[in-house]
Structure 1
């Protein structure tokens, strides 16, 4: 019986990919049997990604306000302040992971939907209907790519913000004194700017996804 080491990591990854793809296909087939099609699942997942991004906006805003409290520290329990900041950082990491997961879910079902749509073009006997469906597919793909690009741009902005935030948390953890607070003050402006940009990009992504969902529902 082959061991994990004999199979090799690339082969294992391929096997995992095939397994997950099979699970997704089974899931989509089961949902279609009860009248829920890939388009319905796509809309639901896009709306879930909107909700996740809105939650992340609130969380990153909350984290920024906590960081503001740290740099404005004027006496009191500095360790408690650190604990609050660390909690905000951990919550922000969780929110970011949720957004990433939701976006991946959108990508998975969208790929399946477009592949199915493409395959079914060959089933038309009417050339005019085939051309019309092909045009709708092209338009939908183009709008989807615009939405996905916006989603992925906002997603990529999260990690640099989290990295900078983690730096502040770690620094404060090992330097619970007024000098550390003074050092962090110099970083606040940069972090605020990064978070403001992130929130703006997230809102743009949310707006693009709403437009796309509205288009899908009209089809």
Structure 2
């Protein structure tokens, strides 16, 4: 059932019918708030996987300088696989962030529209404050997620450059030439991992806040 719902969601989102999807989900008891929390959790998992993958790829690149010339072809193939996996993980993180923003904007618009339905001024005021608080928390979450995502681009580009250079120059001189850029790559990945860890903490905090503060009904 879960796979079917996720598949339906992906299909509708890609065709621009996200409102139809959210409406269908609400009919089976899954509101936008729950979808938002789930998507933040999925993005958190994607970042964890990306963090592990970039660390694995870095380890492979750092090991290049110790490889004998006879193993250069196999080394290139290993690095190429690591690069492609890293590129895939980066794309997954970006897609997850886009999916979060899609449902978040739909939720905030609905919440804002429904404020007019309140008969109680006190409850309306409380809901307005909760909406503002949730929006602020969401903005903080997106800033950290997007910062971590942006750091992935130069790292993936550097991976690609190194893989291509090794592919075109399968010799000892190529290995030596990669030494300087590998050190820069190591620093870039250290910063990326730090940003990802910060983003993961923000995701945890956002999920906790959404689960502990239900929205007052109009």
TM above 0.5, yes or no, is: yes
In structure 2, the partner of 1:105 is 99
Question: Which runs of structure 1 show a deviation greater than 3 angstroms over 4 or more consecutive aligned residues?
Answer: none
Is 1:29 matched with 2:23?
yes
Q: Which runs of 5+ in 2 are unaligned?
A: 1-12, 214-218
Q: Which runs of 5+ in 1 are unaligned?
A: 1-16
In structure 2, the partner of 1:150 is 144
Per-residue deviation, 1:76: 3.4
Task: Note if contact 1:71-1:188 (Cα within 8 Å) is conserved in structure 2.
Answer: no
Task: Note if contact 2:69-2:171 (Cα within 8 Å) is conserved in structure 1.
Answer: no
CA distance in 1, matches of 2:65, 2:58: 11
Task: Note if contact 2:72-2:171 (Cα within 8 Å) is conserved in structure 1.
Answer: yes
Q: What's the RMSD between the two structures over aligned residues?
A: 1.3
Per-residue deviation, 1:126: 1.1
CA distance in 1, matches of 2:180, 2:194: 23
In structure 2, the partner of 1:209 is 203
CA distance in 2, matches of 1:68, 1:84: 13
Is 1:128 matched with 2:122?
yes
The total of aligned residue pairs comes to 201
Of residues 51, 55, 58, the one that matches 1:57 is 51
Per-residue deviation, 1:75: 4.4
Per-residue deviation, 1:73: 2.1
Is 1:89 matched with 2:89?
no
Is 1:175 matched with 2:169?
yes
Is 1:184 matched with 2:146?
no
Task: Note if contact 1:56-1:95 (Cα within 8 Å) is conserved in structure 2.
Answer: yes
